[in-house]
Structure 1
């Protein structure tokens, strides 16, 4: 690369062949704050709001390991009226709970702390987030914005632009909440197909980064089964056992329908050579990928 060339982490990851599966960050609770102004590179932490309000919300979110994301609608001009906030809970039994509110003053955001302690309602539609956070990583903006436009045209009431969701090198990234499902390397056409299938109850292996309630090797195991046997509902597969021996893993996964079946998958962890993983990060870092070496029904 010459001094005049610009480094794009998503292009580099494609050239290296970085694996998508197993790269969804862990999480079961998310806080969304609609913010229509410019987004700081560090998202909510960088907002110019009352310090005591920010500290209160951050402390409450940290206590339950919730992630705080800034969001906005794609519509131009920006909508008037109060901004919205939401607390989204994923529960392992398949229940998805949401609580929504509005804010016009910084002090209104303290309600988020109470919402984090109350699961919320079950009857809200899903949320589709598209990372477009160019201040954090240019690939997220360049690749994310066309995806956000395409999805917003198809599902205007579900789609939000979002700050950094993790995995810049896999842009464009889309997150389905409260499902806790990450997809990556999307473009406008593939995003509409993947999200449409997901909303219809069919999770595809293509573009799947993983489920946020699972560890990386567990995510890889489920993705391998989806790739072999075809799309399935979000909770069609359940990880029931995980054992590790050094760099080797055995994951047992149960399929609930059309008939109960259990699979044992063996995986081997491979450590990659250090590489630049983000557009802004100059220091190279290694990653860990997981190769599925066998799949056996039991």
Structure 2
């Protein structure tokens, strides 16, 4: 609770020491739609768009399990230009592809469905997304907006505010896409450091929630390797094999590229936390899954 008696989920998570590792939602495709009006609590689903176009975009996104996010620039910057949309795609072999367009009528968003099946452009700079979705969760706005301001001052062309990305209690949350890297528990200073390091080609374990092409135990394994051996490039390590020993126990082989360790075997255990209030607006008590790496050994 704050001094005013109001509950903030991110404050509570920090007080408890909630682990952020292994909490990045799985996925490799992002649809961004710049929307300058008020964001509904449920984001794109709540927009009052032309029904056929909205249904087309929704169905196309569902078919490839894409996450649809509403975005905007921090402050009022860029309002003289038409709003944009984008499809960002992380391919299995590590290629990052982007497809951008503009829209002035709802029907223009139908182009998104075609873009999901198009190759897209390579060698585009990454997009830095900061969740500031206050109608979804108060902490996303309270903690996200200062981070958005700080990052926008450093990289005005890369940074967008966005709707809910998951993990309200880990606000401020930043997603680098289509790299598929989630960072959490950030403030204005740590966010600038994390993004600067990321853009320089190094992912640090601190504040890393996970890589979205990996499942939670795999995310935890890679984060532990980065913590043990130091920051490394996004593709310096890859998960070569995963075996589930028990319901709450995994053995994961992580392969590294030189000069990093070649083969590492990581033991990951999971446990459920006690019931807790995990969001600002959800008073019900829920259990979360936390992942713990118990050993890392080289071959």
Deviation at 1:5, TM superposition (A): 1.4
Hey, what does 1:159 align to over in structure 2?
159
Hey, what does 1:60 align to over in structure 2?
60
Stretches of structure 2 that go unaligned for 5 or more consecutive residues are none
Hey, what does 2:134 align to over in structure 1?
134
Q: TM-score, normalised by structure 1?
A: 0.97
Deviation at 1:123, TM superposition (A): 2.5
Hey, what does 1:10 align to over in structure 2?
10
Mapping 1:91-102, distance limit 5 Å: 91-102=91-102
CA distance 1:149–1:219, change in 2 (3 Å): same
For the residues of structure 1 that align with 2:57 and 2:67, how far apart are their CA atoms? 11
Deviation at 1:257, TM superposition (A): 1.8
Mapping 1:14-93, distance limit 5 Å: 14-76=14-76, 79-93=79-93
Aligned residues: 298
Deviation at 1:246, TM superposition (A): 2.2
Residues 92-112 of structure 1: CA distance to partner in whole angstroms, max 9, x if unpaired? 211000000000000000000
Mapping 1:135-150, distance limit 5 Å: 135-150=135-150
Hey, what does 2:259 align to over in structure 1?
258
> Runs ≥4 in structure 1, deviation > 6 angstroms?
none
Q: Confirm or deny: 8 A CA contact 2:208 2:223 kept in the other structure.
A: yes
For the residues of structure 2 that align with 1:297 and 1:212, how far apart are their CA atoms? 25
Q: Confirm or deny: 8 A CA contact 1:36 1:78 kept in the other structure.
A: no
For the residues of structure 2 that align with 1:83 and 1:44, how far apart are their CA atoms? 15
For the residues of structure 2 that align with 1:246 and 1:30, how far apart are their CA atoms? 31
Residues 175-221 of structure 1: CA distance to partner in whole angstroms, max 9, x if unpaired? 00000000000000000000000000000000000000000000000
Deviation at 1:73, TM superposition (A): 0.6
Hey, what does 2:294 align to over in structure 1?
293
Mapping 1:172-183, distance limit 5 Å: 172-183=172-183
Give the SS at the match of 2:276: coil
Hey, what does 2:103 align to over in structure 1?
103
